[in-house]
Amino acid sequence: MVDVEIKRDRVIIRYKGKKWDWILEPRYWRNTLIWTAFLILFPLVAYFVSPILLNTLISANLYAAIAIPLALMTVGTGRMNFGPNFFIGVGGYTAALLSIAYGWGPLATLPFAVIASLISALLFSPLVIVARGLYYVLLTLLLPLVFLEITFIYTDLFKGDVGLAGIQTLVNTGSVKINFLLSAFISMLLMLVYLWVVNKVLKSRYGLIMAAINDGEEVAHGIGVNINKVKILAFVFASGMIGVIGWFYAHYFGTFAGITYLPLNFMIKILLVIFIGGRAQVFGCVVGGYFIAFLEMILIVTMGPIQPVVFAIILTVLLFALPEGLFGLYRKRRYREYLPTLHVRR
Amino acid sequence: MTEMLKVDGISKSFGGLMAVHDLSFAIRQGETVGLIGPNGAGKTTLVNLLCGSLYADRGEVELEGKKITRFPPYQRCHLGLSRTYQIPRPFPELTALMSVVTGALCGKNRINRGLDDAGAEATHYLEFVGLFSKRNILARDLTFFELRMLELARALATTPKILFVDEVMAGLNPGEATKAVRLIARAKEQFGLTIFWIEHVMAVLMEAAERIIAIQFGEKIAEGTPEEIAGNDRVIEAYLGSGWKKEVAI
Amino acid sequence: MWETLEVVLIYSFILGSIYLLISLGFSIICGVLRIFHLGYAYLFTLTVYLTWMFMKEFGFGLVPALLAMVVVQFLISYIIYKGIIMKYVAREEIILTGLLLVSTIVEQAVNYRYPIQAGVFIQTTLIEGASEFGTVVISNQLLVGAAVALLLTALFILFFLKTRIGLAIRALSQDIYSSRLIGIHVEALYTLTMFLILIPVILGTLIVAPIWAVDPTMGSLYMTTAILVAILGGLGNIRGTIIASYLIGFTHAFVSFVLGEPRFMNFSALLLVIIILMVRPQGIAKSEALW
């Protein structure tokens, strides 16, 4: 009757002598439209079903939106940053402090959050050049933890573990539910914009230069690549992008506490978005973000207080069971391309 | 002929070992100069010093009159200095085409070089070395000879003025060796290069080089035309030991 | 002025010795197995909470609980080595993340079962009371800790330098393939190393447990110090680790007593490490070998 044949890059459906084929490629323009439309409709559906779904959706978009610049940073610097939430802290606290002190709205605090992230990234950028691969891992691991300590030390300013409250919310239409829905769309937009930007960068000549640096730094240096400039630019640019997410968290929740975002637990979730979603492939970050957010939500709803333990166990199992990540399951069947993938060098 | 590369008294030591000691020579534009020396003479160290992977302790290096002694490797490349490696160092995860594109893209400080333009240029160089049919194959899947050719293409794509060829004969069978030598000669003609050729295989340099510099233990022991070098006592002693000379003298 | 100097010197010595105990294991694992044991934090948490669990849930006395804890830790180390480290030797990111996850699982599980209010306390004080050194009063337990640290480090050095197995481990840390060629049993020695480093960690944690805080997140606090010491000292080099522990102990003492800001201890240590790394990227150590 209906004959479905799955080939390497397309699905062929035969029915009564007619043949349709559909190309299996998330970046094929029809597929992109389909899943973008789906992503846009989903918040509307969730709005009517349950607020928990909407919240999970926002979480998913934000996890993906943190993982995408992190992937760019990893490819661009050739090292794995184990403390991206440091920049979330920087962006979030800047937005929170400015909003509380001067009563500024989200649009006014945004440029300052970005500038703060860029400056702090520039401050720590020597790490990218000086620290060899695994030293860099360790030092970036420590950055958010030390920042957390500072927020505790200067409790009068940062309000330690209680967190800053009274931040202006992202949108103010009068109805809480509509606010919620609009925030969901904004997070979706943010994530899609990041996806588009980073994909463009990785497919451009800068992506090629980064791939070359990853494959052979000295050789790349010898054929005319200014490796230090490329690495620092990738680091700073990606940090700015991550800082914006901190800004979003601050204005979306109306409160911002370092203890939510700076400890290891949050960082591991982000790392796993990358590893489970698909190693440093930007589309994989979206898949990973949604997967982790929904897994977390399901566990919280069904398991209660033991959720963190089970969550961590499931993530560990998945890390080992899916060495190529979810997206990697798909990508294995494709032809080879030169897109840079995750290389952590010694 | 103008002086392309001038090396003035460079030295480099690693701890207590003096790898290169007070070396001075000059290469004029359009020449093919060979560099020979027994193992451990400091040839690779010298090339690394000239290309920027290492910085000299003392001495000066001048490229077309500009002092490049403290320049990082990428700036030397932008000024026209390129090298190939003794053991080919490709970009293993990039295809052959993309490797050469990297060279074309970054080799000179051009602002608006797009990926497509660089791609077109890269195909030209790939065709020149004969790798056009292999352009979409990952560099780690190429054979040894193809890797050497890829190295050459990538170095040529940076449009150098002077090309350092580091022991390109090593590991090639006679057929491949002839091809490689012819290719380098053609490259020199077609692209107007100056060539600095470090080599172990004497026969190649005898034909190809106009001048040869011989070093041992980091010092220059002879400099001259291939015939002069072949007959030079110190060179023979460096390679064969002093006992040989006594036997030949009979 | 002399009093401040006295306080700073004595605390530098005490803190440095305790940090040495804590960091020695991390550094040796880095040097021998050439990986970062990012899950190192769980060792501290498990030492305390496993003992507590054996005492409370199973009714063991203190000493049987301690023994049971040691056995369980050995088992867990073995499983981690076989399951994670050996399998993914080529994929560092997976090892790093996997070990970090193990540490998180332990921390969350402990937090769930014995949250911070549960009043966990291990009575392992060996010598009660305190001693006086001029104007400085130090708890005897800490003095014991310093002595144990020095003794244990000396034993480790003797082990690595003078015994055959130690020599084999040193060879292993420098080149796996050559070691295999001359008949060194790589996996067995790696497992032995993982067991060896349990000793300073367990002893160190037990000694400071009655004095310093015990809570589910104590692992990350000690781990931060261990990481800083290991990076500063040059990963895997025992000489460097010794120097680095006392340097960081000195920094902490200086910041606490001279600058009067004990809350800045970790931050100042981090600054010190970054500054020294910029001047000397490979850390203090002169060589990459174990000694």
In whole angstroms, give the CA distance from residue B1 to residue B29. 6
CB contact under 8 A, C109 and A137: no
With an 8 Å CB cutoff and a minimum of 3 pairs, decide whether chains B and C touch: no
Selection from A219, A285, A238, A283 nearest residue A64 by Cα:
A285
pLDDT of residue B206 exceeding 70, the answer is: yes
A6 domain residue, yes or no: no
| A225 within some domain | yes
Residue A30 lies in a domain: no
Residue from A146, A157, A262, A341 to probe the interface with C (highest C Cβ count within 10 Å): A146
**CB-CB neighbors (< 8 A) of A139 in chain C:** 231, 273-274, 277
Buried b (16+ CB within 10 A) or exposed e, A253-281: bebbbbebbbbbbbbbbbbbbbbbbbbbb
Give the distance from residue A216's alpha carbon to the nearest chain B alpha carbon, in angstroms.
Answer: 6
Position C246 confidence tier, pLDDT thresholds 50, 70, 90: very high
Q: Which segments of chain B are extended strands (E)?
A: 3-14, 17-28, 32-36, 58-63, 66-67, 81-83, 162-166, 194-198, 211-216, 219-224
With cut-offs at 50, 70 and 90, classify the pLDDT of residue B112: low
Instruction: Give the range among B177-191, B229-243, C249-263 with minimum mean pLDDT.
Output: B229-243
For A168-197, give one letter per residue: b (16+ CB within 10 A) or e: bbbbeeeeeeebbbbbbbbbbebbbebbeb
User: In chain B, whose CA is at the least distance from the CA of A343?
Assistant: B93
Q: Which residues of chain A have pLDDT under 70?
A: 8, 24-28, 133, 160-163, 166-168, 170-171, 278-280, 323-346
**Contacts A340 to B, Cβ<8 Å:** 93
Q: Which residues contact A329 (CB under 8 A, 6 or more apart)?
A: A322
What's residue A325's pLDDT?
Answer: 61
pLDDT at B76: 92
Please report the pLDDT score of residue A27 as a whole number. Answer: 63
A139 inside 8 A of chain C by CB: yes
Give how far B179 is from chain A: nearest CA, Å.
24
Give, in order, the Cα–Cα distances in Å from A198 to each of A49, A194, A202, A265: 33, 6, 6, 26
Question: Which residues of chain B lie closer than 8 angstroms to A226, CB-CB?
Answer: 72, 74
Give which of B102, B142, B164 to mutate to test A binding, by max A Cβ within 10 Å: B102
Q: Which residues of A touch C227 (CB under 8 A)?
A: 138, 141-142
Residue A140 falls inside a structural domain:
yes
Could you give the domains of chain C?
Answer: 2-124+132-279 (1.10.3470)
Residues of chain B with a CB closer than 8 angstroms to some CB in chain A: 51-53, 72-74, 77-78, 82-83, 85, 89-95, 98-99, 101-103, 105-109, 113-115, 118, 138, 154-155, 158
Nearest CA in chain C to A345: C92
Query: What residues of chain C lie within 8 A of the CB of A80, using their CB?
Result: 93, 96
Quote the pLDDT of residue A120. 94
Partnered with residue A255 across adjacent β-strands are A165
What residue type is assigned to position A131 of the chain?
Answer: A
Residue showing tokens 């804890």: C69
Query: Using the beta-carbon criterion (under 8 Å), do C220 and A264 form an inter-chain contact?
Result: yes
Beta strands (DSSP E) in chain A are 2-6, 10-15, 18-23, 164-165, 255-256
Instruction: Collapse the DSSP code of B3 into the 3-class scheme (helix H, G, I; strand E, B; otherwise coil) and give the result.
Output: strand
Q: Are strands B32-36 and B194-198 parallel, antiparallel or unpaired?
A: parallel
Q: Indicate the residue of A130, A137, A323 with minimum beta-carbon distance to C91.
A: A323
A133: closest CA among C226, C92, C40, C239? C92
Residue A343 confidence (pLDDT): 46
Given a contact cutoff of 8 angstroms between Cβ atoms, the answer to whether C257 and C8 are in contact is: yes
For residue C102, what is the nearest residue in chain A, using CA coordinates? A316
Average pLDDT over residues C45-55: 86
Residue A272 touches chain C, beta carbons under 8 Å: yes
- Asked whether residue A103 is domain-assigned, the answer is yes
C-alpha–C-alpha distance, residues C249 and C267, integer Å = 13
- The CATH number of whichever domain residue A222 belongs to comes to 1.10.3470
Using CA atoms, how far apart are residues C185 and C169, in angstroms rounded to an integer?
10
CB pairs under 8 A between A and C: 106
SS (H, E, C) A10-29: EEEEEECCEEEEEECCCCCH
Please report how the helices A106-124 and A227-253 are oriented relative to each other, as an axis angle in degrees rounded to 10. 150
What three-state secondary structure class fits A342?
coil
CB atoms within 10 A of CB C35: 17
For residues B124-135, average pLDDT: 91
Domain assignment of residue A337, yes or no: no
Question: B102 with B184: CB under 8 angstroms?
Answer: no
- CB-nearest to A218 from B53, B78, B102 is B53
The DSSP element (H or E) to which B103 belongs, if any, is: helix B96-106
Q: Inspect the interface and report whether the beta carbons of A132 and C96 lie closer than 8 Å.
A: no
Whether A316 sits inside 8 A of C98 (CB atoms) is yes
The total of other beta-carbon atoms located within 10 Å of residue C71's CB is 11
For chain B, first and last CA: distance in Å? Answer: 43
User: What's the pLDDT at A344?
Assistant: 43
Neighbours of C, requiring at least 3 CB pairs below 8 Å, are A
Task: Give me the phi and psi of A61, to 5 degrees please.
Answer: -60, -40
pLDDT reported for residue C125:
74
Q: Which residues of C touch A (CB under 8 A)?
A: 36, 38, 84, 87-88, 91-94, 96-98, 100-105, 108-109, 111-112, 220, 224, 227-228, 230-231, 235, 263-264, 266-267, 270, 273-274, 277-278, 281-282
For residue C135, the cross-strand partners are none
Chains in touch with A (≥3 Cβ pairs < 8 A): B, C
Q: How far is A313 from chain C (nearest CA, A)?
A: 6
pLDDT of residue C118: 67
Residue A275's nearest CA partner among A239, A223, A222, A328 is: A328
How confident is the model at residue A331, as a pLDDT? 54
Report the gap between the CA of A233 and the closest CA in chain C (Å).
19
Q: pLDDT (tens digit, 9 = 90+) per residue, B54-96?
A: 898 889 999 988 899 999 999 999 999 999 998 999 988 888 9
Q: How many Cβ atoms from other residues are within 10 Å of residue A210's Cβ? A: 27
Q: Which of B73, B105, B114 sits opposite A209 (nearest CB)?
A: B105
Asked if residues A281 and A71 have their Cβ atoms less than 8 Å apart, the reply is yes
The distance of C108 to chain A (nearest Cα, Å) reads 5
Q: Could you tell me whether strands A18-23 and A164-165 are parallel, antiparallel, or unpaired per DSSP bridges? A: unpaired
Say how far apart CA C62 and CA A55 lie, in whole Å: 48
Q: Distance between CA C11 and CA C251 in Å, rounded?
A: 10
Pick from A149, A306, A320: CB nearest C266: A149
| Stronger pLDDT, C164 or C57, i.e. the higher one | C164
Q: What is the pTM of this model?
A: 0.84
Residue B34 has a pLDDT of 92
Domain count, chain A: 1
What is residue B250's predicted lDDT score, i.e. its pLDDT? Answer: 46
How confident is residue C4, by pLDDT bands cut at 50, 70 and 90?
confident
Q: Compute the distance between CA of residue B84 and CA of residue B202 in angstroms, rounded to an integer.
A: 19
**End-to-end alpha carbon distance in chain A:** 56
CA distances, C219 to each of A135, A185, B24, C214 (Å): 20, 40, 60, 9
Element (H, E) at C54: helix C41-56
Tokens of A131: 């620290």
Q: Would you say residue A38 lies in a domain?
A: no
Q: How far apart are CA B15 and CA C178, in angstroms?
A: 26
**Strand A10-15 vs strand B81-83: parallel, antiparallel, or unpaired?**
unpaired
- CB nearest to A134's CB, from C36, C87, C277: C36
- In angstroms, what separates the C-alpha of B198 from chain A's closest C-alpha? 18
Touch criterion met for A and B (3+ Cβ pairs within 8 Å): yes
* Matching residue, tokens 């069904």: A302
Residue ranges and CATH numbers for the domains of chain B are: 1-80+161-172+192-250 (3.40.50.300)
Residues of chain A contacting C86 with CB distance shorter than 8 Å: none
For C103-242, strand residue ranges (E) read 130-133, 136-139
pLDDT in tens, C87-106: 777 777 778 888 888 888 88
Over its C-alpha atoms, chain B yields an Rg (Å, rounded) of: 19
Tell me, what's the pLDDT at A162? Answer: 64
Task: Report the 10 Å Cβ neighbour count for B200.
Answer: 15
Is the pLDDT confidence value at C199 over 70?
yes
Record: contact A149-C278, CB cut-off 8 A: no
Domain containing A102 equals 50-331
Report which of B89, B150, B142, B93 is spatially closest to residue B125, judged by C-alpha positions.
B150
Nearest chain A Cα to C266, which residue?
Answer: A146
Q: Report the Cα C51 to chain-centroid distance in Å.
A: 18
Q: Give the residue from chain C lying closest to A322, CA to CA.
A: C94
Under the banding of pLDDT at 50, 70 and 90, the label for residue B111 is: low
- For residue C167, how many other CB atoms are within 10 A of its CB? 14
Helix pair angle (C238-253, C218-233), 10° resolution: 120
List of residues 6+ apart from C202 with CB closer than 8 A? C43, C47, C69, C70, C73
A223 to B78: CB separation less than 8 angstroms, yes or no: no
Within-domain flag for A338: no
- The DSSP line for A69-110 is HHHHHHHHHSS--S-THHHHHHHHHHHHHHHHHH---HHHHH
What single letter denotes the amino acid at residue B39? N
Report for A12-16, A114-118, B16-20, C7-11: range of highest mean pLDDT: A114-118
